[in-house]
Structure 1
Amino acid sequence: MAFKKKYVPLVIGLGVAAGVFIGGKLNFSDNSDRLFSSNSKKDKLNRLIDYIDYEYVDDVNTDSIVDVTVNGILDNLDPHSVYIPKSELQRVTENMKGDFIGIGINFYSYKDSVAVIRPVPGGPSEKAGIKSGDRIIMADGDSIFGKSWSNEAIVNKLKGEKNTKVSLKVYRRGEPKLLDFQVRRTEIPISSVDASYMLTKNLGYIKINRFAESTYKEFKVALDELQSQGATQLALDLRDNPGGFLGVAEQIVDEFLEANKLILFTKNKSGRIEKSFATKRGDFEEGEVFILINENSASASEIVAGALQDNDKGIIVGRRSYGKGLVQREMALGDGSAVRLTVSRYYTPTGRSIQRPYHNGDNETYYNDYYKRLSNGEFSDQTSIEVADSLKFRTPKGKIVYGGGGIIPDIFVPLDTSVQNETLNYINRRGYISYFVFEELDKNRHVYDGVTFEDFKTNFRVSDDIIVRFQEYFNLRERSNITFVAYHDAMKQLIKAALAEQLYGNGASEQIINEKDVMIDEVILLSQEINRE
């Protein structure tokens, strides 16, 4: 199965692991004997666990104690050194690898049954004949409906070894009996490019949701296609992108910079510096690029934005980024779990660190920085951004940039509170809109037969009656009396976007949302000004 990000609130999460991180490329200079040699501190912990195992009066799950101990140790380091328990490691690894073995459906549990939202285009379920709206009732002879079946249990039942088959029984509305399907499990991509299309006749658009192993390949395919359609300018949307692999960010930056331009450098505990330079292979070195960032753009996103800004390449548009300049390396702990440990800091080409301040052991204050920025007015007024003259740097062309906490954009765009506010974020996060749209669509899917996405985007309008029905739907489930008078237009747009995603997939919702996106509008204006020069 594959899961679109729009359905994360609805289905078993295949999203990014908790927190933001970068997959490191570095190696320790210490040899294994030195790293893992015996000492009194390690012996103390081992001895305590043994005492509890063999002598403590009650039976205790010492595995859980070890997990608590590991987390306690990491909590006293930086905020981005994290522990990944065995139960989570496979999911995290699959997400960052960019694919997994499954049958290729987006689904959610609807009235205790497995409802197919949309089969993955070209995937094994679509090839077998499974359609949107189908209910999967049985898998290999086992019933997979009812409250006893969690999303995790359903996923485990449908996943399996590559090229193995699963026998499914499916209920389809209008069919007199259950349908039988044999679906061969295969590699299912977890897309990191959410959308790729032309905003204007020469301005292309690509949105990346994370930097996984497969991201550069996806990005390159999208870029080549846009260039074939006439793109000489590119809007690269990294908003809400929490990061990922360092090397992938470097590959993407390389597409825009001339050979031998510095991309970044890293410095580890011993002071060893490693530099990364662009090669001569870039395919968009002559094109104009706009990088879209916001307060949730982190790590690898900031590497891309910082490298281009410091090399006077393109224009950074949006709001100050997250501020993460630490590099992690994943290391196995021998029992199926792993730790992502900070092993170095990275610096942009001008030499600035964009890691915002933190105090070891005080992660709560660090992660509440978002609310501090919000209350300070930074999201609505660029002059509220705190900068330090001691962290001032200059690019080769003399532009002033700052270190000390995120990438400050060249062009500031305030938060649009008409479409981004606590109420709408809560409704979206809980998945109510996607649930509602599925149920509305499920009443009669044939209404949209033969309707192209272009026709839908141009001509379909969400009626006031639909807003009223959603309001009743939401209030019934939340036991509230909220009205959407203040958010009427925003709700219509969100419902249309969710409907487009379920009908057409492949980033359709992004195109709907972008039609009324103030940051996209700013990029289009900048593009037009450059064209007139």
Structure 2
Amino acid sequence: MILRKYVLVSLGLAGLSLPLKAQVNPKEKLWQTLKAIQGNYVDSLSDETLVNAAIAGMMRQLDPHSRYFSGEEAAQMQEAMKGNFAGIGIQYMMQNDTLYITQIVPGGPAEKAGLQAGDRITAINKVPVKGETNFAIMKKIRGEKGTSVSLEIHRKSGGEQFARDIVRGTVPDRSVRSAYMVNDQTGYISLRIFNETTRNEMDQALASLKAQGMKNLILDLQGNGGGYVQAAIGVADEFLPKDKLVFYSVGKNKGKDYYYTGGFGSFMEGKLLVLIDQYTASAAEILTGALQDWDRAVIIGRRSFGKGLMQRPVPVFDGSVLELTGARYYTPSGRSIQKPYHGDTYNDNAQTRLASGELLHADVVHFPDSLKYSTLIKKRTVFGGGGIMPDKFIPLDTVEHNGWLQNVAAHDLTGKATFDYLDSNRASLLASYNDFKTFNRQYTVPDYLVQQVVGAAEKEGMPLYPGSRDRIISLLSLELKGRLASQLFAGNDYYLQVINTDNASLQEALRVLEKPAAYDDLLNGAAKQPAEKKKTGKSH
């Protein structure tokens, strides 16, 4: 009977609220809801918790790229985009409650203090590291520049146990992941993000490669998810003459803002090829679109992500930040590359495209005539409406993205195997291979090390089945060699140099450069264009 009365009272209250519905101010409704929850909900919830949930709900009504960041999250995001941080200059891994140093940043505080790759950190500020998470360790090692951190070190090679007080300094967090000469005339630069130091890093990388005889450049934007738009303009300036439009944006009031090059670049001439894939997004697409529209570069790979929205940070008084989409951007030819963002599959980019066949076949993507544009110099046909289409399509290697390899990486089985191997063989390897070039040319990963990873995977419930086994073993061996190189030789991302020997897009770029006519044909539009939708005579 009590339950029945409660239900009747609830229904009665609901009925009383109906006549007032038209008179309620939506903002007042939000405030009333907050008060109602605080006064009637069975559990206690803070105002901050409820307000944050309300803000998150509002963000979900916008586009997928408008987001809310708490004060702490906003500070972390800003720190990540500076291009440096205050720390001691090490890379590390946590394995079986032991913290191993895998790499020392050259010239950093750790190197100056005498630390070496392979050292074990047993305690930080006299607190044992056992049981700590990677994030907790990072917070302890990083800090204010000029402050010190105390580390207790065990060095297996000499059986030493010692302590070091290391003063934190500025450690670069580079956006140029790797820059090296692929052959006598061709340079390679991998750009992982666009941050505050990107332009300076590009200046340095280009100067170094040109000093080594670079005539052609391969710019790798595969996996580059974007960053600061200003940095993308700066990189475009490296390759395009003065006063060339990089992109324009259209905001809420429909006014247009135009962004041009300044003419201060260092690689205005010479063949340029840009590598992209389904993860290339945002600022990376701005750069790619500008270079394609001005017929400055040949684009190789797969259709990019398709993010053509610009976010602007709007600070809130408590230090939190609303990152709101304030404009849409367009390439110099007028293309919008934003793909539709309604539906649940927007961020499930790779799986959706793989299921459609797009990542495997060039002729799967179809564009209507309304999305057809022309490049500005050679008048090639290009398309808008969802990412940048490459001039030369490279299908996805489905074995490389095999679930077994992904699971092995997720469990870091290769990381543990390489560290254990180096722990016993570092000195002998460095004696046999005194530099990276010698190592890369002569070293072969022993079969027992590969089988060790396969065995470890089986113990984790991930057996390697016969299908594509040889190819998977080959890729696993390459991964191990890359990891060994990156831990043996500090100063550059040697991992990428090893892995790139099997990068299909990079190898195709080199083949294009071997035949001058092939490069010219692609810039003149001789490559097969994506199919256009046939007109049916119906209007929509």
Q: So what's the TM-score if we normalise by structure 1?
A: 0.87
Structure 2 residue 337 is matched with structure 1 residue 354: yes
Please state how far the C-alpha of 1:42 moved relative to its aligned partner: 3.8
Residue 19 of structure 1 is matched in structure 2 by none
Please state how far the C-alpha of 1:399 moved relative to its aligned partner: 0.1
Q: 1:194 to 1:165 in 2, by over 3 A?
A: same
Please state how far the C-alpha of 1:206 moved relative to its aligned partner: 0.1
Residue 267 of structure 2 is matched in structure 1 by 284
Structure 2 residue 454 is matched with structure 1 residue 454: no
SS of residue paired to 1:346: strand
Map of 1:98-177 to 2, 5 A cutoff?
98-143=83-128, 145-147=129-131, 149-177=132-160
Please state how far the C-alpha of 1:185 moved relative to its aligned partner: 0.5
Structure 2 residue 464 is matched with structure 1 residue 482: yes
Further displaced range: 483-492 or 53-62: 53-62
SS of residue paired to 1:106: strand
SS of residue paired to 2:239: coil
CA–CA distance in 2 between the matches of 1:110 and 1:369?
A: 32
SS of residue paired to 2:166: strand
**8 Å contact from structure 2 (residues 104, 110) kept in 1:** yes
Q: Which among 349, 361, 368 is matched to residue 381 of structure 1?
A: 361
**8 Å contact from structure 1 (residues 436, 473) kept in 2:** no
CA–CA distance in 1 between the matches of 2:41 and 2:461?
A: 48
SS of residue paired to 2:306: coil
CA–CA distance in 1 between the matches of 2:47 and 2:130?
A: 34
CA–CA distance in 1 between the matches of 2:220 and 2:205?
A: 13
CA–CA distance in 1 between the matches of 2:216 and 2:31?
A: 58
**8 Å contact from structure 2 (residues 92, 103) kept in 1:** yes
**Which amino acid is 1:138 matched to?**
A
Map of 1:411-430 to 2, 5 A cutoff?
411-430=392-411
**Which amino acid is 1:146 matched to?**
K
Residue 16 of structure 1 is matched in structure 2 by none
* Offset from partner CA, 1:367-414 (integer Å, 9 cap, x none): 234323212211121111121211100112110000000000111111
Please state how far the C-alpha of 1:89 moved relative to its aligned partner: 2.7
Using CA pairs below 8 Å that are at least 6 residues apart, which structure has the higher relative contact order? 1
Residue 182 of structure 1 is matched in structure 2 by 165
**Which amino acid is 1:482 matched to?**
L
Residue 66 of structure 1 is matched in structure 2 by 51
**Which amino acid is 1:512 matched to?**
V
**Which amino acid is 1:374 matched to?**
L
**8 Å contact from structure 2 (residues 457, 463) kept in 1:** no
Q: 1:206 to 1:439 in 2, by over 3 A?
A: same
Q: Structure 1: which 5+ runs fail to align?
A: 1-38
Structure 2 residue 181 is matched with structure 1 residue 201: no
**8 Å contact from structure 1 (residues 52, 62) kept in 2:** no
Q: 1:430 to 1:223 in 2, by over 3 A?
A: farther
SS of residue paired to 1:487: helix
Residue 524 of structure 1 is matched in structure 2 by 510
Please state how far the C-alpha of 1:328 moved relative to its aligned partner: 0.4
* Offset from partner CA, 1:275-329 (integer Å, 9 cap, x none): 0112221211112110100111001111111001101112111111000100001
Q: So what's the TM-score if we normalise by structure 2?
A: 0.86
CA–CA distance in 1 between the matches of 2:429 and 2:35?
A: 64
Please state how far the C-alpha of 1:58 moved relative to its aligned partner: 3.6
CA–CA distance in 2 between the matches of 1:168 and 1:260?
A: 53
CA–CA distance in 2 between the matches of 1:318 and 1:444?
A: 38
* Offset from partner CA, 1:113-135 (integer Å, 9 cap, x none): 22111122211011101111211
**Which amino acid is 1:444 matched to?**
N
Structure 2 residue 398 is matched with structure 1 residue 398: no
Please state how far the C-alpha of 1:486 moved relative to its aligned partner: 4.6
CA–CA distance in 1 between the matches of 2:405 and 2:430?
A: 30
Structure 2 residue 204 is matched with structure 1 residue 225: no
SS of residue paired to 1:519: helix
* Offset from partner CA, 1:173-193 (integer Å, 9 cap, x none): 144552121201011111111
Map of 1:8-47 to 2, 5 A cutoff?
40-47=25-32
CA–CA distance in 2 between the matches of 1:234 and 1:173?
A: 43
Q: 1:436 to 1:62 in 2, by over 3 A?
A: farther
Q: How many residues align?
A: 489
Please state how far the C-alpha of 1:53 moved relative to its aligned partner: 4.8
Q: Larger Rg: 1 or 2?
A: 2
**Which amino acid is 1:446 matched to?**
A
**8 Å contact from structure 2 (residues 426, 488) kept in 1:** no
Residue 20 of structure 1 is matched in structure 2 by none
Please state how far the C-alpha of 1:430 moved relative to its aligned partner: 3.6
SS of residue paired to 1:449: helix
Please state how far the C-alpha of 1:481 moved relative to its aligned partner: 2.6
Structure 2 residue 73 is matched with structure 1 residue 92: no
Q: Which among 418, 423, 434 is matched to residue 442 of structure 1?
A: 423
Q: 1:515 to 1:176 in 2, by over 3 A?
A: closer
Report the RMSD for the aligned CA atoms in angstroms. 2.0
CA–CA distance in 2 between the matches of 1:355 and 1:174?
A: 55
Q: 1:375 to 1:158 in 2, by over 3 A?
A: same
Q: Which among 275, 278, 291 is matched to residue 258 of structure 2?
A: 275
**8 Å contact from structure 2 (residues 417, 449) kept in 1:** no
* Offset from partner CA, 1:53-93 (integer Å, 9 cap, x none): 56755421332322222221111111111222334333322
CA–CA distance in 1 between the matches of 2:439 and 2:235?
A: 33
Q: Structure 2: which 5+ runs fail to align?
A: 1-23, 521-540
Identity %: 36
